[in-house]
């Protein structure tokens, strides 16, 4: 009987040891898989409310594709940063992408060396300033005039000569301005056709009803436009509802763009009337209640017999919002007659790696999603953006797998920066489990027998 009990106890001990060792190896294998599998974005199909199929031409064949985001994506995205966008290939493959915002490159400006050889008044009519560009003058097409005056409107004539004696008119309807008030603005650069004459003379007429202004110098330049962008750098938004309200000394015009988070960076106005100059403040909001200032500018139009000068646009650093409010400062003057207002912003394009014959979808609307980090961002600067396949978005689809209470909780920022701690912890767990299993295998059978009642 004792031998029978010993055999039974030994069998139980061996089975327990084998089971412990098997569990240890399974846990170790799972831990090693977690340690070696590539890091992926936090995509859970139950946490995204909407998706749209990405349609590419049937004959499309290329390594990269692009699509332009429309207002419906902006309106339901988690925020202006678009951190919740995910591009899915097939049913489960969350692939990398880049959101690209094209921008118009600024022109190249090269200053031309020269010296002022004449700076004098022409009685009470004008001030003239002559610049000598040297014996081998370079092509020029701009001049920035400097003056200590702070409030003026003056016509400018540009003349050129090769010998400082015989002069040719290059432009006769230029103008410079300076405004002082709530917003101080100076517009003292005059453009003219490309010219390569040694001497350039700038004749600045006295402002209406005033004396000639003093000139302190001039900088002659060549401005060269940058090559066109590969994609449209600015796009006009559709303005839905527009309201106007007269406040004390101001006119408020509020424009509803119809979707939240839209990028805006330029306002173009069409104002009736002549000879006005007004400061304009631009505010934005996503709820039509809480507005924040995003930019300021100055619009004007002046018409004189010798020139016409107008500026009716306000440009500012990129801002985001559904509602745009313009606050036009009137002072004691009557409100302006605003005929039309357009709002412009930089569009966004999503670029992603493309394989022919695959299904692609864009998922969005998950406020808890974290900004993803893909290796494609390192590849993107080296791709030919012009060669990317032009795709488009299909209709909006309510994700049937979406669960409103499900969210992709962002991981701890500390853990994201220190993932090695997780790997070391998993490694320690694997070693500990292996030691437990090994001890179970080496446990003498007598210990199990002694443990029985």
DSSP characters for 73-107?
HHHHSSSTT-TT-EEEETTTEEE--EEE---PPPP
Largest CA distance in the chain: 135
Domain identity same for 380 and 438: no
Q: How much is the pLDDT for 5? A: 42
Domain identity same for 302 and 274: yes
Domain identity same for 138 and 73: no
Domain identity same for 91 and 55: yes
Domain identity same for 197 and 276: no
Closest CA to 175 of 47, 351, 80, 309: 309
Q: How much is the pLDDT for 53? A: 98
Domains in the chain: how many in total?
4
Answer yes or no: is 442 within a domain.
Answer: yes
Contact by Cβ (8 Å): 88, 43? yes
Q: CATH code at 300?
A: 2.60.120.260
Domain identity same for 428 and 404: no
Answer yes or no: is 242 within a domain.
Answer: yes
196, 224, 252 - which closes a domain: 224
Domain identity same for 293 and 250: yes
202, 224, 246 - which closes a domain: 224
Domain identity same for 251 and 359: no
Answer yes or no: is 446 within a domain.
Answer: yes
Q: How much is the pLDDT for 38? A: 40
Question: What is the rounded CA–CA span in Å between residue 372 and residue 378?
Answer: 13
Q: Whole-model pTM above 0.85? A: no
Q: How much is the pLDDT for 350? A: 98
pLDDT mean values, one per 10 residues, the chain (453 residues) = 43 49 49 43 85 94 94 97 96 94 92 96 96 96 95 94 97 90 79 97 94 96 90 93 95 97 97 92 97 95 84 95 97 94 97 95 95 94 93 96 70 54 68 70 55 48
Domain identity same for 335 and 288: yes
Going by the DSSP 8-state scheme, the letter that residue 38 receives in this structure is P
Answer yes or no: is 300 within a domain.
Answer: yes
Structural domain of 124: 108-224
Q: How much is the pLDDT for 330? A: 94
Q: How much is the pLDDT for 33? A: 43
Domain identity same for 245 and 327: yes
Q: How much is the pLDDT for 242? A: 95
Q: How much is the pLDDT for 92? A: 87
- Reported as a single tens digit per residue, the pLDDT across 25-50 is 444 444 444 444 444 446 888 999 99
Domain identity same for 94 and 115: no
Domain identity same for 65 and 128: no
Contact by Cβ (8 Å): 333, 369? no
DSSP 191-219: EEEEE--SEEEEEEEPPTTSPPPP--EEE
Answer yes or no: is 304 within a domain.
Answer: yes
Answer yes or no: is 324 within a domain.
Answer: yes
Answer yes or no: is 94 within a domain.
Answer: yes
Answer yes or no: is 229 within a domain.
Answer: no
């Amino acid at each position: 009987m004792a031998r029978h009990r010993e055999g039974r106890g030994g069998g139980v001990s061996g089975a327990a040891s084998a089971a412990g060792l098997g569990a240890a190896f399974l846990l170790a294998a799972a831990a090693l898989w977690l340690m070696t599998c590539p890091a992926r974005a936090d995509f859970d199909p139950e946490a995204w409310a909407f998706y749209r199929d990405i349609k590419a031409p049937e004959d499309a064949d290329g390594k990269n594709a692009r699509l332009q985001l429309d207002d419906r994506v902006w309106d339901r995205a988690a925020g202006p940063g678009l951190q919740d966008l995910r591009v899915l290939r097939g049913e489960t493959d969350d692939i990398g992408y880049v959101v690209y915002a094209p921008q118009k490159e600024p022109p190249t400006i090269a200053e031309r060396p020269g010296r002022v050889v004449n700076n004098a008044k022409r009685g009470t009519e004008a001030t003239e300033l002559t610049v000598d560009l040297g014996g081998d003058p370079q092509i020029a097409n701009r001049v920035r005039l400097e003056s200590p005056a702070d409030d003026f409107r003056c016509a400018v004539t540009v003349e050129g000569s090769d010998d400082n004696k015989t002069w040719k008119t290059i432009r006769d309807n230029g103008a410079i301005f300076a405004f002082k008030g709530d917003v101080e603005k100076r517009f003292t650069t005059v453009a003219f056709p490309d010219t390569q004459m040694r001497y350039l003379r700038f004749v600045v007429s006295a402002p209406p009803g005033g004396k000639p202004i003093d000139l302190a110098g001039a900088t002659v330049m060549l401005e060269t436009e940058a090559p066109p962008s590969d994609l449209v750098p600015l796009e006009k938004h559709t303005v839905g509802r527009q309201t106007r309200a007269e406040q004390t000394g101001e006119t408020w015009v509020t424009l509803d763009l119809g979707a939240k988070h839209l990028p805006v960076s330029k306002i173009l106005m069409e104002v009736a009337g002549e000879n006005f100059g007004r400061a304009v403040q631009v505010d934005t909001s996503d709820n039509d209640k809480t507005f924040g200032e995003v930019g300021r500018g100055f619009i004007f139009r002046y018409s004189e017999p010798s020139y016409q000068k107008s500026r009716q646009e306000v440009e500012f650093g990129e801002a985001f919002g559904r509602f745009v409010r313009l606050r036009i400062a009137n002072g004691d003057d009557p409100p302006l007659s605003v005929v039309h207002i357009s709002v412009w912003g930089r569009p966004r394009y999503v670029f992603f790696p493309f394989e022919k014959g695959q299904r692609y979808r864009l998922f969005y609307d998950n406020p808890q999603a974290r900004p993803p980090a893909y290796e494609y961002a390192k590849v993107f600067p080296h791709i030919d953006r012009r060669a990317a396949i032009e795709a488009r978005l299909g209709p909006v689809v309510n994700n049937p797998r979406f669960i409103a209470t499900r969210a992709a909780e962002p991981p701890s920022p500390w853990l994201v920066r220190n993932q090695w701690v997780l790997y070391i912890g998993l490694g320690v767990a694997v070693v500990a489990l292996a030691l437990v299993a090994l001890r179970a295998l080496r446990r003498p059978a007598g210990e199990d027998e002694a443990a029985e009642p």
